[in-house]
Amino acid sequence: MALLIFPSAAISGLPLPLSALFVLFLFVTVILLATYLYTTLRYRLSLRRYTLGPARPTTASPPPQIPYTIPFIGNAYSLLISPPGVFWKQLFRWHPRATGACTLLLGGRPTHFIYSPHAVQALLKARGPTRDSLNLDVAQKGLGIASRDVQTYYGFGEPADPATGLTPTQQQEKMNHDFLLRGERVNELTAEFTRALAELVAAEPCCDQDVGLCAWLARGMFRASTEAVMGRAILDVVEGLVDDFWEFDRGFMNMLYDLPSWFMPKSYQARAKILDGMEKWHAMLQEKSNDRPDPEGGVGWDPLFGSRANRAKHRYFEARGLSLRARAGLDLGFIFGLSSNAIPATGWMLMHILNPEGDKTLLRRVMEEVETAKREDGTVDIPTLISLPLLQSVFHEVLRLYVDVWVTRELKDDLILPLDDEKKQVFLKKNGIVVAPSSLGHRDEARWLNPPSEAFYAERFLRTHPETGKAVFSLDGTTGKFYPFGGGKSICPGRVFAKQEVLGSVAMMLLAFEFDVVGFVDEQGRSKKHFPTLRNTFSGSGVMPTDGDIRVKMRRRDTKA
């Protein structure tokens, strides 16, 4: 009784406002403490069943749900505000990674995270789960497209078109296959990209020019890739597209998580400006649509209408009856897919190749390889380039270290996934969300050894050929733990072009210029002592951006030597 009397007596002596605040404080404290104790007890019980229960298919268990303190919000705050990878490092200090899966409460919705390679591989092969909800969020929240247009574009639940025999989703998949995955079509795209980039490089006035390498590279690559895919006219019509895009890119994940515009007003303003400009561009294209070359015809690229892929996409927009604003938003998403990953990946590659704190022999060895892909006229033979073992290994090591993709699926039915070879399984209930974060496989300390997973190692994907004794590129043994482009039916459709774009850009820069490293700088251009690391941004955003740059002095190579 004394314990109950004391607070009452103490409160009665306080002024009314303070008494109310004190009662509110006690109430909130009790709620938070009770939530933590209950979720911790539940976690301990589920973990015991999970780790000690019989490993038979009929006894598949739900993943242990990680404790939290704040109702509804759950684990969302600590997951989203933590620097990339920090949340998981802290979690695995006390939660057994051997479970292969766990559940987090994110804004009132239980979300299952899987990191067992067996479970990831099975999820990517599963046909039932979809990412429809994520597609809707990306279009509406991230790209600002009206709900009605989004439904029209995807056509969820619509029957097959009698003329084609395909549903809207199947039409989009066929379009991606025909224009972004077929070898001859990808080669056309790459040829236009390297042509546009070569023109920009040739016009660059660099004689011992001191620049931030990634910042300088980003502008040129963005212009070249946009011109190659979308056409040259968009860069003339949409004023400030190059600069506005990177402002939009910086805030895209904030938009996707539905954070208010006052949180990152410049990013929202940049998106609105881009969409206004692209709507004007689409109006111009519509007026001249009779002049648009058939994407299946003999014209590979057109200055106004761009690539075959772009023309096929716009033809589909018209067939679906989309508004000009929706077309602008979808094209912004297409440009986002083109540039927000390939360009940072190219920057990471060049920084590591030139890094004075890294392997001092790497630049020489890469140059020796790249020279074998150089034609007599100075251009690069892309098929030869993309087969070079060391260059491929460096590219994939950059993807391993710096890609954080959340392969996200919505479960329409109950799903059971294997966790190991011994019939241990995890049960996921229908209507739930399951996520396979690539970074958990890419940086698993138990699976990437010698050197440790946190280190950049240019030769990590090289093996010695048993017959020739030469180094060859290999992805053997990476199934389920290395998936930088996602996987399954929603795997990145632009992955083939992206690889050629990145490797082509790296080769062209190294063949065109000599670089002397001046030092490292942060995002504000201030000098820093060490190699840049990851920017503090949201997880799951693809190729993670750098928190700084490497300053170099550039001079054009003497091609006569």
3-state DSSP assignment of residue 436: strand
Q: Read off φ and ψ for residue 481, nearest 5 degrees.
A: -125, 0
Task: Using CB atoms within 10 Å of the CB of residue 395, give its burial: 0 to 12 exposed, 13 to 18 middle, 19+ buried.
Answer: buried
Place of tokens 């001092």: 360
DSSP state of 61: B
Instruction: Return the number of other C-beta atoms located less than 10 Å from residue 371's C-beta.
Output: 11
CA 148 – CA 519 distance, rounded (Å): 51
Pairing of strands 433-437, 109-114: parallel
Place of tokens 């995002």: 523
Tokens of 113: 């995270």
Tell me if 544 sits within 8 A of 537, measured CB to CB. yes
How many residues in the chain?
561
Q: Is 206 annotated as a binding residue?
A: no
3-state DSSP assignment of residue 347: helix
Instruction: Return the number of other C-beta atoms located less than 10 Å from residue 263's C-beta.
Output: 12
Instruction: State how far the alpha carbon of 351 is from the alpha carbons of 67, 445, 462, 495, 506, in Å.
Output: 40, 24, 20, 22, 10
Of 317, 241, 320, residue with least CA distance to 282: 317
CA angle, 254 as apex, 404 and 523 as ends, to 5°? 70
DSSP state of 534: B
State CA 404 to chain mean position distance.
6
CA 321 – CA 190 distance, rounded (Å): 31
Helix spans in 93-239 (H): 117-125, 132-137, 147-154, 168-176, 183-202, 213-230, 233-237
On the question of a cis peptide bond just before residue 162, with omega within 30 degrees of 0, the verdict is: no
CA 186 – CA 192 distance, rounded (Å): 10
Q: At what angle do helices 389-402 and 324-354 cross, to 10 degrees?
A: 120
Tokens of 292: 């648009």
On the question of a cis peptide bond just before residue 451, with omega within 30 degrees of 0, the verdict is: yes
Per the DSSP assignment, residues forming a β-bridge with 534 are 546
Helix spans in 231-323 (H): 233-237, 241-256, 265-287, 308-320
Residues of each annotated binding site for heme: 492
Residues of each annotated binding site: 492
